[in-house]
Structure 1
Amino acid sequence: MEILLEENGSKGAATAQEDGKRAGMMTYSIAGTGLIIIDHTEVEPAYNGKGVGKQMLYKIVDMARAKNIKIIPLCPFAASLFKKLEDIQDVLKT
């Protein structure tokens, strides 16, 4: 599974690909120099239950740490993972 990050203006996305096929996408909005808002997650049905969403979130968290950015998870999926996973809560906007 390969996770690619892409930003275009005030929007960004982590896209999961496997064997050239899109497995999922997690989108975010850039809300300033030190803040992003994760707003949507979708995983293709064939990849449900395989941890694709979690992998995309970890890729965004790694980017946020590297850029010293905080995250607001408006997406219900991302918000639920932030509640469960203590190892990523350091980038959570409080």
Structure 2
Amino acid sequence: MAIIQKPGWFYYEEEGERLGEVSYLKAGHGKVLVLNHTYVDPKLRGQNIARQLVDAVCELARSEGKKVQPDCRYAAALFKRFKEDYEDVALEPGQNADSCPIN
């Protein structure tokens, strides 16, 4: 699986079609990456693509010495369920984490 990085995005694409994505914003004077949207095409769900996309953002944060704030429900649930995998970069969920629809 090839994950592509663009400013503010990581996405998964097959044959030119974007089938999964995670977006983030910079906050805290650029020291925090706020995960604000995660989506995977329904035909690919259950294959851990969303987690791999979130992990790509976390790896970016680690490499740049930043923190990650989950502000979408999927990312917040992932950080809570696998706390030990994200404890080095995770901040408390943002205010939108409970209201963000899981797509």
- Structure 2: state its 5+ residue gaps: 93-103
The corresponding residue for 1:75 is 72
TM-score, length of structure 1 as denominator length: 0.87
Report deviation, 1:84. 1.3
Indicate the percent of aligned positions where both proteins have the same amino acid: 32
For 2:91, the equivalent position in structure 1 comes to: 93
More strand by share: 1
Q: Please give the alpha-carbon distance, in whole angstroms, between the structure 1 residues aligned to 2:46 and 2:77.
A: 15
**Whole-angstrom distance in 2 between the partners of 1:13 and 1:89:** 22
Q: Secondary structure at the match of 2:88?
A: helix
- Contact 1:26 / 1:57 at 8 angstroms: preserved in 2? yes
TM normalised by structure 2 equals 0.80
- Rounded to whole Å, the distance in 2 between the matches of 1:93 and 1:26 is 17
Q: CA offsets, 1:18-77, max 9 Å, x none? A: 344322011111112211110011111111111110010111111000000101101000
The one-letter amino acid of 1:81's match is: L
Structure 1 stretches of at least 4 aligned residues deviating more than 4 Å after TM superposition: none
Query: What is the identity, as a one-letter code, of the residue corresponding to 2:9?
Result: A
> Within 5 A, what are the aligned runs for 1:1-94?
1-7=1-7, 12-31=8-27, 32-85=29-82, 86-94=84-92
Q: In structure 2, what is the Cα distance between the partners aligned to 1:6 and 1:91?
A: 21
